[in-house]
Chain A
Amino acid sequence: MSEPLVFKRYYVWQLPVRICHWVNALSILLLSITGFLIGYPVIAGSSPDAYVMGWVRFVHFVAGYALLISVISRLLWSLNDHCFSGWREYFPFLTREGWKNILVMLKFYFFIDRKTPDAVGHNPLAVTAYVGLFLIFFGMFASGFALYAEHAPGGAMHGMLKPVYLLMSTQTMRLYHHLGMWFIICYVINHIYSVWLLDVKEKGGEITSIFSGYKYTTKLHVFSEGKECDENGCFIKTKK
């Protein structure tokens, strides 16, 4: 216990990652509020020209487009060769190190061990939830835009979404779209709790990281390729 403890600062979330994150969070918030109001229109217009539902739906559609653009941008960004935001980070189950980290994390969650994984960037268990979330997003896009395009059958969007219409009836689409919201709400509860927990337990500025981009840690991120990461999140080749 004699050597001094060194917290190293890593640049884990680049600006585009943070922007996408907050655009996602904001649009999810708007989509859930307006979506709920579409399902249960509790706010009533007092006169026929009030356009209350009209605006609610308008906000829903604009936020829907914003989320679509943000999610696609994030996916494209994951193609760059960054240690922490690259696409490989999303699939820990493809590598042995990833599996090990998932196990460590599960032990942590089930109070078996107090150790957290040797991961500087994403939490290896959380990324599996992100992958699930992105799949739900695409379900929401498909059903949402398919419901939306029904105002103009024969239009380009309606044509593009033909597989969705062949797959299920409009009412089924509506039901799954509605249920999707509840799955996302469950995800958000889980997500906010987990980042809080890791913030408290790892003491590395987890929550701050999604605002500033930096995390502080004593750990060394282990990559399966035998690569290492510098403080900017760029790969450096090491001999192994």
Chain B
Amino acid sequence: MKLEIIKMALESLLANKTRTILSMLGIIIGVSTVIAVFAIGQGAKKAVDDQFQGLSANSILVMAMRGKTESSKLKTADSKVIVENCQHISSATAVIQENMAVSFESEDGTFGILGVENNYFEMSNIEIDKGRLISEEDMDNNEKAAVLGSGVAETLFLEDEEIIGKNIKINGKTIEVIGIVKETGRSMGKSSLDDSVFLPNSMAEKSILGSKAFIMIFTIADDVENIEIASKEIVSSLRTEHQLRDSQADDFRIMDAGAMVGAAQDAAALMSLLLTAIAAITLLVSGIGIMNVMFVTVAERTKEIGIAKAIGGKRGDILSQFLLESVVLSMIGGVIGIIIGNSVIFIFRNTELITLAPSLIGIIIGFSFSVLVGVFFGFYPALKASRLDPVDALRSE
């Protein structure tokens, strides 16, 4: 019985293809927006997680002022200044970063080049897999030594190849591989740690990256409670070190882990909120559109309703017939919306533009919404249809 009514609903929707497609459009846009909202939300969460994973809550980051890298006096040696002058900072390490081509024999690739201090690995929870990490002597001697991320080793070398002791080339300079670190799955800024080459920063600065590379100083406060005081200490020690007058602004900026994660999450949440509002409005408008179309359909089929009643159709039969039509309409729109939404996610999933992750909850919610819109906005027209007076309905043309 139900199957036949679904078939009849489909047939009547097919009889009016243009109208059906037009009235579906709103639902399609609404549901694909819902899918996108969840993908963006999920993606942002993933991006924040990836970026800040391994960063403890008492980390404080010092960087050159955005867009003023050149005029900033921030230098790798400032990490020593910070540890020595700031009471509440327990450790600090400077990192310089740039992307560069790296080659071994005929294999090559572009990777993140990180000039680090020997304490970097411990502070970032990076563990050695083969060979050894960069030592204090390597630092002092400006040793041309490199520790490879797991991805770099995979790209440049064969699986069973003996890598330690081999010479790779970075920017034309020959560097010896002294170690390979374990896979981390983490990233720093835009580049993955697994796709990075770690060099002693003194050597990297002098021979490879130059002094214009992007500098960051990771510091760790002795306690989460002391983040604020520690930040103030960093500011005053660096201002003294950089010999800034009172009238001059800081030539560096400071971010603590909590603020960074919070800012990233806030941005993602705001984006989601905006899109949710758009999706809600689109679904509302599409619902009104469906209601409108259903009223037109009921008006057009008034005579049919009269006939149906004359041959024994109950109010419930007529109500469910029209309700089903609007639900089928919105459901098909919902499915198309899910397909379009996920295709868009698939296309943009790995672009620099935005991080997107398909979300099952998004699909479920998108689909439920489409059904809900069909039921909610189809109900009133269907109810009106079912309540028509049979004789009046029969009389209409």
Chain B associates with chain A? no
User: CB within 8 Å of B: which residues of A?
Assistant: none
